Each structure stands twice: as structure tokens, then as C-alpha cells.
A and B are shown apart, each in its own frame.
Chain A
Amino acid sequence: MDNVLGGVLAIRLLAACFPLYDIFHDDQQLTSPLTSYSRLREGVYLFKNGLDPYSGGVFRQSPLLLTLFSTLLPLSPVLSPLLWTLCDGIGAWCLSQIWKLRRSSESEQRSRTGLIVALYLLNPYIFLPSLAQSTSTFDNTLFLVTVYSACAGNVPVALLSLAFLTHLSLTSVLFLPPIILLLLHGPSSRLSKPVMFSGYKRALPLALQASIYVGILALLSTLATGNWTWVSRTWGASLSLPELNPNPGLWWYFFTEMFDYFRPFFLMTFSMHLLIYVAPICLKFQHDPLYATFLLQGVFATFKAYPTLSDPGLFLSMFSIFPEVYPYLRNPIVTTLLHLHASLLLPLFHRLWLSQGTGNANFFYASTLVFGLANGFAVLDAIWAGLRIAFGTVNDGVEMVQK
């Protein structure tokens, strides 16, 4: 595994030497207003020159990133690619460790970790936003660190990194229930042997601990910036959608075409829509919280407010740690082809619309619909396979269906 990790990281560093950043840095599939590197630089520049970066509507990153990049880590054309590559490497390493913790008793783990690391680092949905230096790389890395610490049973690190992740991306607060279940129940694969979960009383102190961490970080953010405007600019952006920049998600065109009278209702509906998947998936997959986390990540990647390509990319890469469900996937080829279709059309139609002017917004919107369909198919297939595996192989002439 280490050879593979080292090799692929070297390839990534080599790729960072080419001026690919200049091509990708403002690409709207790879970056969003919440994750763009140009906006991060703008915020740090304003902060260093004494202006409140949250007084304008350009900077929407968390104050934690603002303070990190204005004091400890300078943003430079040489150091930033190194930092992003390092984050990718940490994420890949965490993913391979999650696999090892899940399969603690089997021997095939040795040969597979290299494949897992390669599937994470070489997934174009993940390394292209990383080349564009979008901060969604930090989101992915923090998510993988959270899940790895939860699998290892390390309560403070898991909850603290979840708190950091919540500050970078508000939708991630919905990962708290499955992470708590993961801390209490462990990562071993129990998909084929489901049992009821009985330790709900122990969940409450963990939830309190997580909210204390989030609160402390919020207070630190307020101290750093001097006022509370960062809340409406960063967290409020996911809820009120102030910027309608195109991205691979479904919210932007819906709210572009929405009349103002209905906007608050539909904003509330779309936010509630993300909320309603947490409890059912956690309840149904309480015997395997790691799988529940994986499924919720897929749901949020498809339906969150400002997604980039790295969110579904993480979902697809995480498929590699669940090889037990592969025989039970119903339509992997359709999903793959839909993804191929969408990933080729998204940049093409984006360029036709905004750069060339020969297409219009509907072209790009249609390709985001196909992309949403591809991600939806992937999640639905994963849910079916995760449930079907409990019944094992059946005799010829018999099929397991849902009535």
C-alpha cells in the first residue's frame, strides 16, 4: 500500500507542476462559491489589509480557514499545491485504514489497500478539484479523518474533526448521528448479519460533546473576525442560496427560475429534504453504521446546496471499501454509463453556454439532471445491495424481491 501511496502522490505532485491551476481554478464544476481558491485568497487579502472579509458577498469560507491561511500557512503558488496533495494523501491513507479496521480478521486486506488508495487518488472527480485547489479537498479529508477516528473508537478526534467539518460545510452536521453510531458500534461489516442496536443511551453524551466542540469553534471564529456576520455568510449561504452560480448540483437553476414569492418555502423544503434521510437510513442500517455514513454521504453529495465534483467523487471512491455488496448491485453498468455521459457533457455544455455562447443554460441544466440521476442510481443501488446481502445466496429458481 505504501508503495502505491507514494507513487500516486508523486504523480499528483508532478501534475501540480504544470499550470493546470490556471485552467481549472475558476471552473464551476470543480469549485463553488463556498470552496473557491480565488475567494479564499481574496478573503485573506482583505483580512490582512484590515477590511472585514465578511462585509462583502465574495468571501464565504469559514473563519477557521481565514485565520489558518492568514497566519500559519501562507497561500503561495508553490506551497498550496503541496498542501492540497498532502491533504489528498491523508484522505487516501485514512480510507485504507478504514478498510483495514473493517476487515480486521481477514487476510485479503493487504492486497486491496493499494487499490483503495489508487481509486481515491486517481478518481478524476477527486483529483481535478484538488488541482483547482478547491477547499472541498479539505472537506473530503476531514470527513475521512472523522470516519477513520470513529472506526478506531477515538471519540475526541472524531468529534473534533466533525466539528471542523461542520464549520467548513454546514451540511456535514447531519453526519453526527451515523458517526455517533459508528463510535458506539464499530466498523466491522455486519451487513450480512444484522442485529438490533441497543446502546442509544450512550449516544447523548457524545452528541453533547460534539455540539460543545462546534460551539467552541464558533466562539473562536467570532473572536477572530470580531462579529457574527460570518454565520450568515458561510452557514447561511447553504440555507438561503444567495449566489446562483452554476454547479453540478440541482439547486442553482431551480432557484434561478423560482419567483421570489415561493423562494423561502422551497429553500426550506430543499433543506428539510436533506434532513429527512438521516433517521431512516441510520435506523435501517444501524447494524452497520459505516455503510449508513457512506449512503448518507452519497445522498448529500447529490442534493446539497453548493456541490462540486469532489462530493460524488468521494462517494464513488468509498465504494471500494464495500466489496461484499458488489454481487448484489442491480445496475452498475447503467450507473457507470450515466456517470460517463454526465461527466463528458457537464464541462462541454458549461463551456458552450458561458464561453462560446452557442448553447444556453438548458444544456448545462440537462447535464446536471443526468449527473443527479447517475448519483441517484448509485445510491439506490448501494441501498438495495446493502439490504439484499443480508439474505445471502438463494437457490436457483428463487428470487428475493421487495413486496
Chain B
Amino acid sequence: MNNEQFEEELHVRPLQDGRVYTNFVFKILLKNAVPRSANTLGSEDEAQHYTVFPLALGQIIREYAVTELHLSLNAGKWDYASWGYPDNPSVGSGAELWAWMGEGDEKRVSISFDARWQGLRNALAGLFCASLGELDERRTTSPVYAFQPDGDLPAESMNLAYAFHPSENICTENLTPFIKLLPCKSRSGIASLLNPHRLFDADWHGMSIRVLWRADEGVEVQLGVQAVFDPIRLRGQQKRDWDFPHIFDRTITRACPVAYSSTIRVDLPLSGPYTLTPDPITAGNGTAVFDVMSANKPLDVSLLYLNEAHFTYPVDPSPQTDLSIARSHTGTSQAHGRFHVTLTNSLNHPQRVAYLETPPWIIKFYLHTLTVTVDQDPRPRKDIIQKLTYIPTSSNLPTLFEPTLILPPNSTVHLTLDFDKTFLRYTEHPPDAQRGWDLPPAVLIPLSSNGSSAPPSLPRMYTNTLLVDLATPDFSMPYNVIIMTCTLIAMFFGNVFNLLTREFIAIKVA
């Protein structure tokens, strides 16, 4: 066990609207390990023997020579204004998969990048029982600014593949294999709090799998579950006190014996008298830390708000983030539409951001209609967009629209962009064709200013998904349409043929 280390942590943060944000993080570090290079895929891999590191995941990332992998399955819409930034920024609702993999030298690599991306998707789909096979080339793009690696990358040339499927939501059958990857499963330790009945009832819930490489440490797998619970709704009364049996319906009865550290961090409320039981190990800087190994079992952390008979929702909640983004689409026709994106900068200095939009081929942008206005001024501004990376849609591939903008301080920038909606073939429509198609969320990535080498301080933000209504043909009519059109053509052809080939004769009629 010397070269593997398992740490688990639960972070609990009460939110200003009475909800409770919980973030489970299970980190398994494989010390001094190096990701497999794409050039070695032709030869047999070295044997892998793990004790706490999940073998199923380890096999997958070595099979396809993946250096960095992020998979998240989320359900719900993350409310940045009320809840602030999540610990793990991947909160777009749906299935998101992105991976940094090496291209490999052309002569030495035996499997192409695209083949490995497909293999990776299918392997993860099998492992987590999720329809990740939908993330094929119809939804895969390679953004330029977004999704920079969280860990280190080796010296060879690496490419990013990013895919998003907004209709794929998380459910119990995804959580079960996730728990199986943990060393202690859900029998002991913090993972015993993962109760599917309560977790999938939460207002927002999602699970994420991240694999990183740090050159000085090794390969790290972070398995995480984030959820936003509503103790007021669960209780039925307007009191926001919570404890573990109340929100999870579980307590921690045993600590995980193979865990290097097992901690619970609770962010303390800013105002009001409250009681936090049991006593934490340390309480400072607004955070209370509990150590699961040494605490009394069954461990039940509870936070009671004293002197609060009823919780009053904040009437005018202050936005919890400095930047905010909202996206919508307008238009009543099933042939055209228009995107509206609103970016608000509450900081006192200009902020350079990148905006990533990867709609599937059903949306065709008209880039010449891109208009940028600031606040209420109707004159279009040419100085807001610095650079634009644009790969238009062709055949079934998605569009990549990634402008870099400078948001002026204390202002709101409005972007509008017209688009055409595609008319799909009969076989391309999904079974519930009248529902419409989901568009993946747009991503706002704050960047550091030009020339600065410091990493940006703000995390990326996701907008909501959109539902696009496409025109549907009549699905009961293929035979009828074919025969009616062919009848018209045949009648015309027949009559032309007759007119051109028959002889004229004179007949007496009187």
C-alpha cells in the first residue's frame, strides 16, 4: 500500500436560500505513476496490480492512453446567483466527457486518436451504464481556450476531445458502479452516506470522475458526487436545520480502514447563533473540520439555527458570483431563431473571458448577424470581441463557436446571433420528435488578461440547456408521399410521352 493513497472528504456548505450544498470527493493517488504514451499502444502494457486504485478505471485509461479525463453526469440547473461557485466546476446538466490524449507519432501509433476516443467513450459507457456512446463525432469538438488541463501534460503533442450530451441524466444505475470503484464501497467511511433515494431527490445532483496526472505526485483519480439538498422541503416546515439523518437518511457507522484521511468540512454560517454537534476537531476561518476516524460513531453532524422559528428566504439575494451568464433563444418559427446571450460583469475591472458554444448540426449559425451591445446602448460594438474561433457545421458535425471577449467593468454585454434550424430526415428524428432537441450548455471561461501568465482566478460557468423545436414531417406518411409524388411525375411523363410520340389524325365528329 505504499504507493497508493486513498483520501476521502465531505464538504458541506449551507446556502443563502436555506439549501445545503454537499460535495463528496474520493481521491485515490497512484504515486509516481506515469500515463501511458500513445506510441506504446502497439506493444503489450506492463502488468497493473492495484490495491485501492480502481482497476476497472485504471485499465480503461491505460488501454486508450488517456492522460487526463473528466466525466460528469449531472441533473438539474445550477443556480449560480443563489448558490455561488461549486467546488467542482463541471455542473452543466447532462453528460460531459472531455479527455486529453496524445496524438502519437504518425508512424509509431497503431490506433488513431478518433478510434481511441471512441473506445474510451464506449468503455466508460459500459463501466457506468450511461449512454455515452451518443458522444460520437456528432457531438465532439476541440475547443481552444476552454478545458485546459487541470494536471500536467507530458511533452508529446496532446489533443483535447470534448463532447456533451444534454439529454443524458444521472440515475441510480450510474451511481452503483461508481460506488463499486471505491475501496470501501458504501459499507464504511463517508461513502456510506450516499443514499440513492435521497441523492436523486436532491434539487441538483451530479457525479464526476476525474483522472489527472501530476508530474511530482503521480496519477490521481478523483471520484466526486455533488448534491444540493433542501432541508426545508424534506422537513415540511420552514426551518433550515439539518443533520445527516435528515438529509441523507444515514449516519456514518464505521470509518474506512484503508483511508489515509477521512474528513468532513462544514462551512459555518456567517450570521446568527447556531449549534454544531458533535464538536469538531478544528474550527477556524469559518470552517469546522471533523475527522471521521477519530470521531464517535455513529457520526451524525447536525447544525441547528437557534432563535429562528421560521426561515425567511432572502428577498433580494445578492449574487454570489462576480460574473454571470444567461442564454436563451427566441423566434416563433420552426425554420429560424435567434440566440440571446447576456454576460454580466460586476467587477470593477475589465474581465477577459472566452465563451464556448458547441451546438449540434441542427443549428446553423449566420455569423454575419453576430451583434454585440453593451447595457442599453443599441449601437453595435466592435471592440468587445477580441478573437473568434469558428468552425461551421458541416454534414453531421457540431459547430464550434468560441469568441474571446473583454467585458467592460460593471456592465452587461448582450450577444445576438441568428440561426437556421435544419429540416431532418424521417430517420434522423428521435422517437419523441415533438419534444425537440436539447442544446448543450454554453461555457463561460474567465481568462487572465493578455500577456499575464497567472492562471485565472475564477472558475468556468455553464448556462442552462436549451430546447430547440424542429419541424417534423408527418411520420405516418412515407408511403403516401412517395406514391403521390411519383404519381404526379409519372402522369406528367406519360402525357409528355404520348404527346411527343403519337400521330395526329383528323376525325369527323359531326
Contacts and interface: CB of A to CB of B under 8 A. Distances in A.
**A and B are interacting partners:** yes
Contact of A257 (B477, B497, B510): B477
Interface in A340-375: 353-355, 357, 360-362, 365, 369, 372-373
Interface string B135-147: 0000000000000
Interface of A is mostly: helix
17 contacts: A44-B368, A51-B392, A56-B391, A250-B485, A250-B488, A257-B473, A258-B478, A260-B425, A284-B500, A354-B471, A355-B332, A376-B495, A391-B504, A399-B507, A400-B505, A402-B498, A403-B505
B69 to A, nearest CB: 30
B395 interface: yes
A333 interface: no
A401 B507 contact: yes
A273 B489 contact: yes
A42 B394 CA distance: 15
Interface in A374-400: 376, 379-380, 383-384, 387-388, 391, 394, 396-400
Given A244-B424, A256-B473, A303 B489 contact: yes
A305 B488 CA distance: 15
A246 interface: yes
A68 B481 CA distance: 40
A26 B338 CA distance: 14
B320 to A, nearest CB: 38
Contacts of A391: 504, 506
B364 interface: yes
B496 A277 contact: yes
Contact of B392 (A57, A398, A401): A57
- Closest 7 A/B residue pairs (Cβ): A56-B392, A397-B510, A45-B368, A402-B502, A257-B478, A244-B423, A376-B492
Given A58-B366, A380-B499, A365 B481 contact: yes
Interface string A253-284: 11111111000000000000100110011001
B394 A55 contact: yes
Contacts of B485: 250, 253-254, 369
B493 interface: yes
B315 interface: no
Contact of A354 (B333, B365, B367, B394): B333
A397 to B, nearest CB: 3
Contacts of A246: 423
B484 interface: yes
Given A58-B366, A254-B482, A243 B489 contact: no
A273 B489 CA distance: 9
Contacts of B507: 398-399, 401
Contact of B366 (A38, A245, A388): A38
A361 B427 CA distance: 16
A28 interface: yes
Interface residues of A, number: 65
A399 B500 contact: no
Nearest to A58: B364
A159 B71 CA distance: 61
A195 interface: no
A259 B426 contact: yes
A361 B335 CA distance: 13
Given A254-B485, A273-B489, A361-B474, A58 B423 contact: no
B246 to A, nearest CB: 46
Contacts of A220: none
B297 to A, nearest CB: 60
Contacts of A73: none
Contacts of B333: 354-355
Nearest to A376: B492
A401 B507 CA distance: 7
A388 B499 CA distance: 10
B159 interface: no
Chain B CB within 10 Å, residue with most, of A281, A361, A369: A361
B334 interface: yes
B500 A280 contact: yes
B472 interface: yes
Nearest to B390: A51
B509 interface: yes
Given A256-B423, A354-B471, A383 B484 contact: no
A280 to B, nearest CB: 5
Contacts of B491: 376
Interface string A299-312: 10011000000000
Contact of A259 (B335, B368, B427, B508): B427
A302 to B, nearest CB: 8
Contacts of B474: 360-362
